[in-house]
Amino acid sequence: MRNSLRLAAVGAALAAASFATSASAAATATATATAEILSSLTLTADSALDFGLIAPNTGGTVTVNADNTVSQTGALISTGTRAPAGFTVTGSNGATVVLTLPSAPVNLTRVSGTETMSLGGFNTNPAGAFQLSPTTGQATFNVGGTLTVGSNQVAGVYNGTFNVSVEYQ
């Protein structure tokens, strides 16, 4: 029994020595943590999406693209000043932002009535993500869309709104 006690004591001493050895082999390092806070984004609508003057005849569509090109379908006549909506975004210098357009059409409603036309097919230039200026933190972009004009659409001025958003990527 004495030998068993001695063996147990020797085993305990060896175990304690091995723990001491592994503890002395440990190392510690200190890491640095950093974070950069970006400026809040601001988005300003500079100009409206303008479809110009339209004679509906039997209806169709007028498309004003973000790149300033214009097209039409059907028997309608589209003339006058037509231009995409213009926007300015301001944020942190050189940051990348992504643009989100409406996914569903919106209605334009006649100012002195209840008649509507559908505005959809939104497009943008530049498309998707883009970089803000490295010196000013600003960028401009245009938004276009397609207006569906009904046959014998009631005459008058039609207005409506649509939402555009930007966020850091």
Total domains in the fold of the chain: 1
Confidence at residue 35, expressed as pLDDT on a 0 to 100 scale: 95
Residue 101 in any domain: the answer is yes
Domain with residue 91: its CATH number is: 2.60.40
Confidence at residue 25, expressed as pLDDT on a 0 to 100 scale: 84
Give the range of the structural domain holding residue 150, as residue numbers without chain letter. Answer: 42-168
Residue 14 in any domain: the answer is no
Confidence at residue 30, expressed as pLDDT on a 0 to 100 scale: 96
Residue 33 in any domain: the answer is no
Residue 10 in any domain: the answer is no
CA distances from 84 to 27, 54, 91, 148 (A): 63, 16, 23, 16
Residue 57 in any domain: the answer is yes
Residue 30 in any domain: the answer is no
Largest Cα separation within the chain, whole Å, is 114
Which residues are registered as beta bridge partners of 158? Answer: 110
Residue 16 in any domain: the answer is no
Residue 141 in any domain: the answer is yes
**Residue pLDDT tens, the chain, 169 long:** 445 545 455 455 555 555 555 557 899 999 999 999 999 999 999 999 999 999 999 999 999 999 999 999 999 999 999 999 999 999 999 999 999 999 999 999 999 999 999 999 999 999 989 999 999 999 999 999 999 999 989 999 999 999 999 999 9
Confidence at residue 12, expressed as pLDDT on a 0 to 100 scale: 54
